[in-house]
Amino acid sequence: MLLFLFLIGSITACSVSDDTANDGPVYIYVPVTAVNGPTTATVNQEITLNVSYRVETTCGIFHSFYQEGGTNTEPLITILAQYTRGEDCETIPTTKIAPYKFKATAAGTYILKFRYKNGITADSFVTQTIVVS
């Protein structure tokens, strides 16, 4: 029963309502599916990673990256997507790409952990290791 309530709550939390009384945007954390880009950099060099993420409807667009914790060398990063209410949206899961800018001010190994699913297990993240010299 508890699992059933959790599933219903998850589905409801991720769906976009057609309620026109509140026609502002809805913001939802979405899963990162892949990260591609350089694996090396120099101190103070900005590099760009292409971060693939999944939205559930055609009205889902990238809003922002959100660092939800971690450390300087192992940040935990999530994508926040914006869904527009009241528009004709088709329920078509789509993978999109957003550029993530990374610049380290010190040499070292950085492990960027992009949230793939809820939880804090090893398989909850898509990681990108960057060695900065």
Two tokens, residue 96: 């999109």
More confident position, 11 or 26: 26
pLDDT of amino acid 3 = 37
Q: What is the residue-averaged pLDDT of the chain?
A: 84
pLDDT of amino acid 5 = 35
pTM over 0.95: no
Q: What is the mean pLDDT of residues 38-49?
A: 98
| Most confidently modeled range among 7-11, 23-27, 128-132 | 128-132
What residue segments make up the domains of the chain, in order of their start?
A: 2-132
Residue 67 CB burial class (10 angstroms; 0-12, 13-18, ≥19): exposed
Q: Is 123 helix (H, G, I), strand (E, B) or coil?
A: helix
pLDDT of amino acid 85 = 79
Tens-digit pLDDT profile for residues 57-92:
988 999 999 998 899 999 999 999 999 876 688 899
Q: For 1-15, 21-35, 99-113, which range has the lowest pLDDT when averaged over its residues?
A: 1-15
Tens-digit pLDDT profile for residues 104-126:
999 999 999 999 976 666 678 99
pLDDT exceeds 70 at position 35 = yes
Provide CB contacts within 8 A for 41, sequence distance 6+. 47, 102, 103, 104, 130, 131, 132, 133
pLDDT of amino acid 123 = 73
